């Protein structure tokens, strides 16, 4: 990795942050003018009318920064493959931001939003040829090609799933933006380690855009990112995670799964919770991670900082796991890390009651083991 490319990345980060700082107040005025506002209700934590559309500021800062920086990057630093993927992010991301902006204004139907998200994923897959195309056999070295349609379906599910996962955690000031920023920072660090110029450039621009926006979005927020921001950041994370690992294999998805472990686990628990209660999985509720932490007595700011810490822990695990993937014990270490994290997630979920406030099977089982009377004779 050349110092020149790192310099470009630093300039990109600063430029995107300045652009976000300048553009976000303008977007705030636009939101009020067009009526893209969020009214308080029984499910939401804010108590006054707030402007949405903050994601438009993030997108505009990122896009303007990218279009200004790209002409200064020599062709040798970005391959045709990288430029193709950058184009996929721009085109698909633009469609996603338009969808989110309209939803911020009109509260679109969930089925329509899902259809457009699938369309954006199809642009990435069919328009630019980006898809998961190899399968790594666990505890082996063979790479097996996936069938064409299975490959396409898996990629679309990945993009749509991650896009919505970020949207589902957007419930507190600065939460979704901060968690996304930590995930992108993790990918940026891994891009530097792997000397991947495209990841470094895009990661720096996205991180700068989020940083500038967080100045207005951290508690107490002056503007919400809305669906325009949550959907765009989710889409960018999904695409960037595939861009960051050019082999685009199923085994490489362990790393991006860890990177976005907080929103994905929250989404998983939300689906289980709603299924157990017989409710539609897309029906909003107050059982998400941030709701549970606040119900335990943590303040708004402390709840966000706790989730930031959890996201940073997942990001650190992702970097460690990625660094050992190609070693002789890589598969075993990955397996152990996944098992340990699944166990910790289950314990955490039972402690805060994110699925059920009363049923705690693992904690009850551990308690029974600890309280089991010692066998043996007494004198």
- Binding positions for Mg(2+) are 167, 227
Give the contacts of 294 (CB within 8 A, at least 6 positions apart): 45, 300, 303
C-alpha distances out from residue 203 to 182, 199, 207, 225, 313, Å: 11, 6, 6, 19, 19
**Secondary structure of the chain as H, E, C letters:** CCHHHHHHHHHHHHHHHHHHHHHHHHHHHHHHHHCCEECCCCCCCCCCCEECCHHHHHHHHHHHHHHHHHHHCCHHHCCHHHHHHHHHHHHHHHHHHHHHHHHHHHCCCHHHHHHHHHHHHHHHHHHHCCCCCEEECCCCCCEEECCHHHHHHHHHHHHHHHHHHHHHCCCCCCHHHHHHHHHHHHHHHHHHHHCCHHHHHHHHHHHHHHHHHHHHHCCCCCCCCHHHHHHHHHHHHHHHHHHHCCCCECHHHHHHHHHCHHHHHHHHHHHHHHHHCCCCCCCCCCCCHHHHHHHCCCCHHHHHHHHHHHHHHHHHHHHHHHHHCCCCCHHHHHHHHHHHHHHHHHHHHHHHCCCCCCCCHHHHHHHHHHHCCCCCCCC
124, 51 contact by CB (below 8 A): no
Binding residues: 167, 227
């Amino acid at each position: 990795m050349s110092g020149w490319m790192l310099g470009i990345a630093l300039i990109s980060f600063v430029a995107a942050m300045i652009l976000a700082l300048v553009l976000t107040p303008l977007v705030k005025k636009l939101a009020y003018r067009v009526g893209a506002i969020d009214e308080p209700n029984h499910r939401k934590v804010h108590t006054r009318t707030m402007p949405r559309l903050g994601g438009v500021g993030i997108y505009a800062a990122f896009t303007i920064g990218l279009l200004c920086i790209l002409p200064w990057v020599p062709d040798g630093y970005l391959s045709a493959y990288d430029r193709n993927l950058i184009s996929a992010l721009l085109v698909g991301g633009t469609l996603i931001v338009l969808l989110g902006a309209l939803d911020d204004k009109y509260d679109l139907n969930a089925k329509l939003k899902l259809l457009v998200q699938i369309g954006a994923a199809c642009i990435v897959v069919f328009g630019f040829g980006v898809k998961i195309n190899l399968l790594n056999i666990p505890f082996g070295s063979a790479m097996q090609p996936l069938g064409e349609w299975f490959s396409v379906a898996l990629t679309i599910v990945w993009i749509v799933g991650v896009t919505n996962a970020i949207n589902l955690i957007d419930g507190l000031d600065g939460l979704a933006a901060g968690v996304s920023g930590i995930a992108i920072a993790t990918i940026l660090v891994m891009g530097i380690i792997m000397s991947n110029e495209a990841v470094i450039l895009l990661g720096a621009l996205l991180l700068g855009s989020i940083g500038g926006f967080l100045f207005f979005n951290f508690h107490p927020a002056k503007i919400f990112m809305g669906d325009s921001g949550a959907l765009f950041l989710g889409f960018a994370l999904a695409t960037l995670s595939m861009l960051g690992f050019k082999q685009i294999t199923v085994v490489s998805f362990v790393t991006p799964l860890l990177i976005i472990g907080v929103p994905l686990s929250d989404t998983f628990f939300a689906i289980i919770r709603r299924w157990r209660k017989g409710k539609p999985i897309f029906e909003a509720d107050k059982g998400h991670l941030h709701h549970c932490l606040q119900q335990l007595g943590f303040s708004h700011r402390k709840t966000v900082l706790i989730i930031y810490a959890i996201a940073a822990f997942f990001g650190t695990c992702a970097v460690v796991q990625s660094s050992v993937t190609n070693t002789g014990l890589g598969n075993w270490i990955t397996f152990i890390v996944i098992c340990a994290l699944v166990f910790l997630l289950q314990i955490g979920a039972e402690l805060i009651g994110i699925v059920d406030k009363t049923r705690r099977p693992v904690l009850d089982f551990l308690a029974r083991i600890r309280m089991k009377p010692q066998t043996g004779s007494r004198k």
